[in-house]
Structure 1
Amino acid sequence: MSKEQLRYCYAQQLLYLLAEKEKISIQLIDRSRLLTEFEILISLPGIGEISAALFIGEFGDLSRFSNHKKVNASIGIDIRRYQSGKYTGQDHINKRGNPKGKILYLIVRNMIRQQKAGPNHIVDYYYKLKKQPISKKDKVATVACMNKLLKCIYSMVKNNTKYDYSARSLRTNSIIL
């Protein structure tokens, strides 16, 4: 088999796999549309249909958790503190949960990248963390935003409300802010 024939064979295989991926994505979105969480998730700026469907596929029904802290613990982004007597160690991410946080990481990065799509509290929080007197590192700020996004999504699903930037900015004592 010549190099040209081999390239053609790989190109055909790539086109086939891309078409299969598209079919699976459409099926995932169609199944996710049946759930109320789908409409809630796509109301957030920076979350599209595929991201919402992947989130639902990874996390399932969030109402099975009694609070947002248990959701954080299930994916391993809760804080682990070490204290012994008067000594208090530096806080770290637990990292012991199911590694479902990858989709959250991608969603937060996408929100930051597409911040011009609409105002978003998660993006505002990210830049607040980056601008503090002591700026947080990029991954630390992103994980903090993942935590905040999960709180926001949990609250929106629990209350069956869509994202509204203006309504959330007035509620400073809520779970979201």
Structure 2
Amino acid sequence: MYHRKLSKYPTPEDMLSVDTETFTELLSEASRGRFSMSKASEIQESAANTFGVSFTNYAFAFQIKQIIAQINFIEKQLEELEPKISELLHQTNQVITTITGIGDVLGAIIIGEIGDISRFESAPKLVAYAGLDVAIKQSGDFVGTQTKISKRGSPYLRRAIWLAATVAAFKDPALSVYYQSLKARGKYHLTAVGAVARKMCNIIFAVLRDNKPYVPDIK
């Protein structure tokens, strides 16, 4: 709905025709609160300094409206799909959603990418399949460990676990403590989240292998 409202302002001239307060409200609603008045002012300032190409304005405006219409269509499809995904997941596997940060949609992606957990001999095998293992840099006789993940294996599984880890790093009783301990040791945010994601892989492996709900290991 909010994308449709924004589609009324597809060109720089259109963005400048509305007051900043109204544009801020539309932008905030369309971005679900991510962008506020500062971003709206920045966009309008950029619009004011943009080179105008008047003879192509109609074509650009039409193209932008078409893209917004496609976004609205996809979002509507997603709204219809999510209840079906939840229903199917609860019929096949419920324990995955007991893990902090993993809801029905991420749970369905993870189950779909992993398949039968017995395919993996151990948790490190699952970590490697998700591409969350630490990359090894080798040059001549030198072998060093980088802090970057390898990004091998399934990108969909990796993204799903990473998204769950960004939530668990702050909300899970055990993983949040682990995250904070890494930050206290001077680790960057993304490095710490990567470590949480690897621990979450271990948790996923154990939960699926034993078919038992997740219970945070608080020490």
TM over 0.5: yes
SS in 2 for 1:90: strand
Work out whether 1:96 is the aligned partner of 2:152: yes
Work out whether 1:45 is the aligned partner of 2:100: yes
Match of 2:206 in 1: 155
1:54-133 equivalent positions in 2, closer than 5 A: 54-81=109-136, 87-92=142-147, 93-99=149-155, 100-112=157-169, 115=171, 119-132=172-185
Q: CA contact under 8 A between 1:40 and 1:161: conserved in structure 2?
A: yes
Task: State the alpha-carbon separation in 2 of the partners of residues 44 and 91 from structure 1.
Answer: 28
Match of 1:138 in 2: 189
Amino acid across the alignment from 2:111: I
- Cα distance change on mapping 1:9 and 1:74 into 2, 3 Å: closer
Task: State the alpha-carbon separation in 2 of the partners of residues 85 and 16 from structure 1.
Answer: 53
Task: State the alpha-carbon separation in 2 of the partners of residues 14 and 140 from structure 1.
Answer: 33
- Cα distance change on mapping 1:89 and 1:18 into 2, 3 Å: closer
Q: CA contact under 8 A between 1:75 and 1:97: conserved in structure 2?
A: yes
Q: CA contact under 8 A between 1:41 and 1:153: conserved in structure 2?
A: yes
Task: State the alpha-carbon separation in 2 of the partners of residues 13 and 90 from structure 1.
Answer: 44
Cα deviation digits, residues 80-125 of structure 1 (max 9, x gap): 4457898542335322323230111111112235x2xxx4322221
Percent identity of paired positions between Structure 1 and Structure 2: 25
Larger relative contact order (Cα-Cα within 8 Å, sequence gap ≥ 6): 1
In the TM superposition, residue 58 of structure 1 has moved relative to its aligned partner by 2.8
Cα deviation digits, residues 99-152 of structure 1 (max 9, x gap): 230111111112235x2xxx43222211111112xx111111111111000001
- Cα distance change on mapping 1:88 and 1:33 into 2, 3 Å: same
Work out whether 1:32 is the aligned partner of 2:89: yes
Work out whether 1:169 is the aligned partner of 2:218: yes
**Paired residues, number:** 158
Q: CA RMSD in A?
A: 3.0
Gaps of 5+ in 1: 171-177
TM-score scaled by length of structure 1: 0.73
Task: State the alpha-carbon separation in 1 of the partners of residues 135 and 101 from structure 2.
Answer: 29
SS in 2 for 1:91: strand
Task: State the alpha-carbon separation in 1 of the partners of residues 68 and 184 from structure 2.
Answer: 46
- Cα distance change on mapping 1:84 and 1:44 into 2, 3 Å: same
- Computing the radius of gyration over CA atoms, which structure comes out larger, 1 or 2? 2
Task: State the alpha-carbon separation in 2 of the partners of residues 8 and 83 from structure 1.
Answer: 50
